[in-house]
Copies of this chain bind each other. A is one copy, B any other.
Amino acid sequence: MTSLGHAAPSDFVNPPKLSGARPGTSVLILGSGLAGMVAAYELQKVGYKVQILEYQNRAGGRNFSLRGGDTFEELGGAVQRVGFAQGNYFNPGPWRIPYHHQAVLHYCRTLGVELEPFVQVNHNAYVHSSTAFSGAPQRYRVVDADYSGYVSELLAKSVNQHALDNEISADEREHILQSLKSCGMLDASYAYKKSDLTSMRRGYEKPPGGGLDGPSVTSTPLSRGDIFSSGLWQAISVNSLLNHQTSMFQPVGGMDQIGKAFQKQLQNVINLRCKVTAIHQDDSGVSVTYTDDAHGSATRVAKADYCICTIPLSILSQLDIQVSGSMRAAIAAVPYAPAIKVGLEFNRRFWEEDEQIYGGISFTDLPITQISYPSTKYFSNGKAVLLGAYLWEDVQAFRFAGMTPAERIEASIASGEKIHRQYRKEYSSGVAVAWSRVPWAMGCSSIWSEQRRKDHYKNLCTMDNRIVLAGEHASYIGGWQEGSVLSSINAIEQLHKRASGVG
């Protein structure tokens, strides 16, 4: 399941120690995403002679941001010209870094990429279901408080009715009751109900104030049946995952700041607009055939002692690559997520100004699945960009991929205005990226099932004579930059072992 791949921390402590490299050993790296650039950066440091061939006209791969003035062309020919105001950006690919993705954070520190907190959980954002509460969005804090309150109340009832006496000791009984009272905001008789206590968590009808306007009015909990049947507790479950826990971070000014920081270190190494067509190897080295679109589309052959190939499997499976049958089978085995991301720019931060939502995510059962508010420049005036849709791999994602970009944006607005009535009035411009139509990736990231892992993962990751693969697809942290970086580190360790003759 993808969600498994989505909840993976990293135990990275330090970059690899590559002692005893034979100076001048050459490595050809295919692709200048994070995996390729980490490999180039680390190998170059210890004396390897590295070159990168990059298909696009920029480095970074899926680490990129779109800004006003950028154009974006997708398979099928649709071209979007981004109309965002100066300073605004949108991250179609990676957009957040969990605190435990220590390898990515290490390179941010090393390369001087400034980071700011990314807000995932926002108690004042919404959870929304079109089939619950007559379609009215609820504040996250309300559902969170009421859900926790009713679960605590029900368990306290069971415990007090001695329904669990064969399970728990008298001692544990007391501790459980005490904890439920505290964490569930239960009153002295273990009830969850309208009170100052519950309002202190779910929010007040009229909040406490000052002077003669001081006294508050408590709020009334939603009904127990409605809370459980609403399904809105799913957001609590999603937010609890390791990959969504605080603290999370984002680069100041766009996720592409990481790619750009690497690129700065690798000016003389990256060759842009090189379209690889064949990857061959023999006992003396590797030779890679490519079309050099930067120089009249000449066909060229690059040679090196070793090759690190970071081309996404969705592309690589279509190329002529000379590796063992088992690696070939692995390359062909892994499908890619047809994720959709839509960035919407609005004339003002109505979510902040009107609704007191500063960063974080609202969740919905509508096709857009979520709205993520900008975790930057809070309280500022002027236009701002939010993530207006993030679809992963369900039928809706395929449906969105089949639309024109303008239709995807319209569909996002049509969903979003069910949550924010200001949507249509304040809309300014948008950009919609369907990853299955991105020419150089043809999918957002790899989807590993348990069976595929068993059959193919080791074959995919084990160096094949002079060729080793890297990228998020060669990791257990699919869809996250951390996977790319850690796969790259493992790949260069394998390569170095082989090249230095230590292994």
Interface-located stretch among A1-9, A50-58, A69-77: A1-9
Specify which of B209, B234, B236 is in contact with A486 (CB 8 Å cutoff).
B209
A487, B157: Cβ atoms under 8 Å? no
B209, A10: Cβ atoms under 8 Å? yes
Is A287 located at the chain interface by the 8 A CB criterion?
A: no
B247, A176: Cβ atoms under 8 Å? no
Known: A4-B200, A196-B4. A212 touches B490 (CB 8 A): yes
Is A117 located at the chain interface by the 8 A CB criterion?
A: yes
CB distance from A336 to the nearest CB of B (A): 18
Identify which of residues 236-278 in chain A touch chain B, using a CB-to-CB cut-off of 8 Å. Answer: 236-237, 240-243, 245-247, 249
Q: Which residues of B contact A214 (CB under 8 A)?
A: 457, 461, 474-476, 487, 490
Identify which of residues 184-218 in chain A touch chain B, using a CB-to-CB cut-off of 8 Å. Answer: 185, 196, 200-204, 206-216
Distance of A231 Cα from B124 Cα, bound (Å) = 28
Q: Which residues of B contact A168 (CB under 8 A)?
A: 154
Given A8-B216, A211-B487: 16 more A-B contacts, CB < 8 Å:
A7-B200, A9-B208, A11-B207, A117-B119, A117-B375, A119-B246, A141-B242, A145-B240, A169-B225, A175-B229, A209-B490, A210-B488, A210-B490, A211-B486, A211-B491, A214-B475
B356, A99: Cβ atoms under 8 Å? yes
CB distance from A35 to the nearest CB of B (A): 9
A215, B476: Cβ atoms under 8 Å? yes
Is A121 located at the chain interface by the 8 A CB criterion?
A: yes
Is A485 located at the chain interface by the 8 A CB criterion?
A: yes
Contact with B along A376-415 (1 / 0, CB 8 A): 0011000000000000000000000000000000000000
Q: Which residues of B contact A234 (CB under 8 A)?
A: 182
Residue of B nearest to A181 (CB): B237
Q: Which residues of B contact A245 (CB under 8 A)?
A: 123-124, 141
Scoring A210, A229, A488 by chain B CB atoms within 10 A of each residue's CB, the highest score goes to A210
Interface-located stretch among A158-166, A299-307, A433-441: A158-166
Identify which of residues 454-487 in chain A touch chain B, using a CB-to-CB cut-off of 8 Å. Answer: 457-458, 461-462, 470, 474-477, 482-487
Distance of A208 Cα from B9 Cα, bound (Å) = 6
CB distance from A142 to the nearest CB of B (A): 11
Q: Which residues of B contact A8 (CB under 8 A)?
A: 200, 204, 207-208, 216
Pairs A–B under 8 Å by Cβ, sample size 15 = A8-B200, A8-B204, A11-B209, A119-B246, A123-B242, A169-B225, A172-B229, A175-B231, A176-B228, A203-B242, A209-B475, A209-B477, A210-B485, A211-B474, A211-B490
Specify which of B246, B356, B375 is in contact with A102 (CB 8 Å cutoff).
B356
CB distance from A27 to the nearest CB of B (A): 16
Is A360 located at the chain interface by the 8 A CB criterion?
A: yes
B11, A206: Cβ atoms under 8 Å? yes
B212, A458: Cβ atoms under 8 Å? yes
B119, A247: Cβ atoms under 8 Å? yes
Identify which of residues 1-47 in chain A touch chain B, using a CB-to-CB cut-off of 8 Å. Answer: 4, 7-12
Distance of A169 Cα from B99 Cα, bound (Å) = 42
Distance of A331 Cα from B231 Cα, bound (Å) = 50
Is A155 located at the chain interface by the 8 A CB criterion?
A: yes
Distance of A484 Cα from B145 Cα, bound (Å) = 28
Distance of A490 Cα from B215 Cα, bound (Å) = 12
Distance of A245 Cα from B143 Cα, bound (Å) = 14
B124, A100: Cβ atoms under 8 Å? yes
Scoring A171, A182, A228, A249 by chain B CB atoms within 10 A of each residue's CB, the highest score goes to A228
Is A80 located at the chain interface by the 8 A CB criterion?
A: no
Is A109 located at the chain interface by the 8 A CB criterion?
A: yes
Is A151 located at the chain interface by the 8 A CB criterion?
A: yes
Contact with B along A294-328 (1 / 0, CB 8 A): 00000000000000000000000000000000000
Residue of B nearest to A173 (CB): B228
Is A105 located at the chain interface by the 8 A CB criterion?
A: yes
Residue of B nearest to A224 (CB): B172
Is A283 located at the chain interface by the 8 A CB criterion?
A: no
Distance of A474 Cα from B229 Cα, bound (Å) = 43
Is A183 located at the chain interface by the 8 A CB criterion?
A: yes
Q: Which residues of B contact A9 (CB under 8 A)?
A: 203-204, 207-208
Specify which of B176, B211, B215, B249 is in contact with A154 (CB 8 Å cutoff).
B176
Q: Which residues of B contact A229 (CB under 8 A)?
A: 171-172, 175
Is A371 located at the chain interface by the 8 A CB criterion?
A: no
The 10 closest A-B pairs by CB, nearest first: A211-B490, A210-B486, A210-B487, A163-B163, A208-B476, A123-B245, A8-B208, A7-B200, A158-B158, A210-B475
Known: A99-B356, A117-B359, A358-B247. A210 touches B477 (CB 8 A): yes
